[in-house]
Amino acid sequence: MPASRLGLGYSAAGVNRFIQVFGLQNTLDIFFSARIFDATEARMMGFVSRVAPRESFDRVVDEWCGYVADNAPLVLRAVKKTANALLPIPDPGALAEAHAAIAACFASDDYREGVRAFSEKRKPNFRGI
């Protein structure tokens, strides 16, 4: 986080979000030192979820993206809305949007397709509707 190297005052909401995600000590380290963290340290801090060697990076990314692409788009959207709504400094409007997105999942063709595919022991064909 180069804010301290640039003389930028970082918002209280932004610092609070860092504290919630990375903890107080890591947040202070990030902002006070403004140093570049290597991949291993970034993973230990929770800044990234996984690390891959350079030679297998593209394969690992493609594999992970494949996992994501195989899932129901409406569910992914609902999880993203919910996670953002539950972050520090609650936003009641965002939480209402998250609840609506979750309800839309259960009312979707994708939900019915997922249940059918599960019972038929096959991969679902999600269409985002």
Cα–Cα distance measured from residue 34 to residue 128, given in angstroms and rounded to the nearest whole number: 41
Give percent above pLDDT 90 in the chain: 47
Residue 30 host element (H or E): helix 24-33
Please say whether the beta carbons of 76 and 68 come within 8 A. yes
- Whether residue 90 is predicted with pLDDT greater than 70 in this model: the reply is no
- What's the mean per-residue pLDDT of the chain? 88
Nearest to 27 by CA among 6, 53, 1, 49: 1
Q: What is the pTM of this model?
A: 0.62
- Whether residue 4 is predicted with pLDDT greater than 80 in this model: the reply is no
DSSP-assigned letter for residue 36: P
Long-range contacts of the stretch 46-55 (C-beta < 8 A, 24+) = 46/21, 46/22, 47/22
pLDDT of amino acid 88: 65
